[in-house]
Each structure stands twice: as C-alpha cells, then as structure tokens.
Amino acid sequence: MRSFASDNNSGVHSDIIDAITSANTQHTIAYGDDVYTHEAEQVFKNLFKADVDVYFTFLGTGANVLAMKSSAQSFNSVICADTAHINVDECGAVQNFTGASLKCLPSVNGKISVSDIAKELHSIGDEHHSQPSVVSISQPTELGTLYSVDEIRAICDFAHAHNLIVHVDGARIANAVAAINVPINEMITDTGVDLLSFGGTKNGMMYGEALVVFNKSLSANVKYFRKQAMQLSSKMRFISAQFTVLLNNNLYIQLAKHSNSMTKLLQSKLNEISQIKITRPIETNAIFAKVPVSLIEPLREKYFFYTWNEEENEVRWMTSFDTTEEDIEDFVSCIKDVIG
C-alpha cells in the first residue's frame, strides 16, 4: 500500500536503519548515560547554537506533555489554537498530566496572533480564574501553514513581556525550516522560544522525538516528569543515534524538502482538476481539499487518507520523505479515473 494519509504512514529512511544497526553492537549504560545520547545532545546544541537541554521521548505527545508539565501547574492555563494537536489529538494528555486547562483560540488556518493572545490576558491574579502561563503554537500548524520568523518573534516578545512561556510543537519542524529556508537557530533560538518539541518520526525516523529546552530554568524537574510520563527509554541510544544521523549533514532538511516538493507537485496537478477545491494555503507537506463525496471511498480504497471535515467533504493529503513522483502520477490518474 502507498498512502497520502500522513507522513507517519511511511517507513524509515535507510540511513536511520543503518544508524540503529551500528548502535546495535556493544553494551552501553541504559537510560541515556551513553555515548550515543551524549553525542546527540551535542548535535542539538550545535544545531541551535545554544546550550540547550535535550530530553528524548518516544512520542510527540510525550514531548508536548513534558513541555507543559515544566511550565504549567494545575491552576494555570495553556493558550493555544483550537486546531492544536494538544487540544484535538492528544486525548486530554496535557490536562491529565498537568491539571492545567487549555484556552483554545479561534485560529485562522491553524494560526493564532498576538492580538488573539492578548484577549486572554484578563483576570491575572484573580483566584477564580485559571492563570495563563504558556502559549503553545505549532510550526508548521496542523493545517500545514507556517508562522514567519517575525511572527514567532512577535509572539515570544509579547509572551515574555507578560510572563508567559512559549512552546513550539515542532512535530514537523523540519518541514517548516525547509519551507522557510532559514537556519533553524534563527527560527527558534533567536526568536526566544523557550521549549520546542522536535519531531523525528514524521521526518523519516523509526520513532523518537525530543523536548529541547532553551530556557533552562524550566528544566529543573523534567527528568522526573519524563520518567513518570513513561517517556524515559532504557535503550535510549536507539533514539539518540537516529537523531545524530538525521541532524548531521542536514539530512532532516533534505528529507523535508523532498516531502514539501512532492506536495507542490501534487498541488500543481490537482489545480488542473476542476472538481477539487484546495481549501488552505499550501506551505509545507499537507494539502486540504474539498472533493466530490462520491470520490472519497473509491479513492481511499487505493490510497488511504483521512477526511478532515466530514460536513464539508474536506480531506487531507500528505506527502512524505519517501513519496515518489510515480506515487503522485498514479494518485492523480486514480482521481481522474474515479471522476470519469
């Protein structure tokens, strides 16, 4: 089966498999006190040009939960977009682990702005209301759109001026960096982001994500929370060795560039099909489109994908690091066949 459902439906890049294999020789100390993990931590520091703390996790949800746990108590709230993964797709994990509430703002194509955030900053110091402590944005957003570097900086400046911490859910951060074509340290370190969930899985790893902590005052208890949240891998070297290979020589950007370019190719072919209406700006590796309802099931039998909004017949198609031009050609010819 080939699929346009999600970039985590694809397999694992061969360099990553090799990295796992080459880490699979000697014994090492468990739980991250090993050469592979120390090397990967240094790779992250070099990448961000900052003395960051790095916590490897199994899951993106795990990295997000740790980020929130480090910055929100049960009486706090987390300001995020209504479309945020932490709101829609994490089964209340943040609320469960932190007790904090989410203040979900109406978003425009997945994005929130400083003026939206400002509206939530009332009742500060009032014990009857949860107290905002974090702003969480996704880069790219769940709708595949992007915050510009200036927009991230503006959110950070505003948040910090109001004693709020900034978290970026970067499950697909590589796609954002590849699309904007700016060094990642300029997008994240220099703008003032405090916490980044750095995605590996969707970018071509087998599994593994990382919470990168820029504001070290937030690190104090993360290692304890990681254990409690069941994200502390005993054979951590198999996550860290993957990250070292992914980040060295910019493999992560190369893979994301390919994925983004396959989306552009698909977009150009879909533009020729009048029955398909693209609904969102296409900025990374996702396409949202309204399609005739009769097309959905027959097409899904050949290429699995998700319906995003049932009422609107809006579907999501995503490309991946291993999507080929042949996949796109075949998918588009299937669409044409089904339309008839």
Ligand X SMILES: Cc1ncc(COP(=O)(O)O)c(C=O)c1O
DSSP letter at 188 equals I
Q: Which is nearer to ligand X, 59 or 291 (CB)?
A: 59
Closest CB to ligand X among residues 61, 284:
61
Closest distance to ligand X from the beta carbon of 232 (Å)? 16
Residue 277 C-beta: closest distance to ligand X, Å: 24
32 φ/ψ sector (left φ>0, alpha ψ -120 to 50, else beta): left
146 or 335: whose CB is closer to ligand X?
146
The CB-of-86 to ligand X minimum distance in angstroms stands at 8
Dihedral through CA 205, CA 209, CA 215, CA 217, nearest 10? -140
Residue number of the CB closest to ligand X reads 60
CB-nearer residue toward ligand X: 81 or 276 = 81
Choose between 23 and 229: whose C-beta lies nearer to ligand X: 229
In angstroms, give the least distance from the CB of 197 to ligand X: 7
**What is the binding site for ligand X (CB under 6 A)?**
59-61, 85, 138, 142, 169, 171, 201
CB of 303 to ligand X, least distance (A): 19
User: Between 295 and 317, whose beta carbon lies closer to ligand X?
Assistant: 317
Rounded to the nearest whole angstrom, what is the least distance from the CB of residue 325 to ligand X in the complex? 25
Long-range contacts of 328-336 (CB under 8 A, 24+ apart): 328/262, 328/265, 328/266, 328/269, 330/2, 331/2, 331/4, 331/266, 331/302, 331/303, 332/266, 332/269, 332/270, 332/273, 334/299, 334/302, 334/303, 335/270, 335/273, 335/276, 335/295, 335/299, 336/273
Interacting residues of 137 by C-beta distance below 8 A, sequence separation 6+:
80, 81, 84, 111, 112, 147, 152, 155, 166, 167, 168, 169
**What's the DSSP call for residue 300?**
H
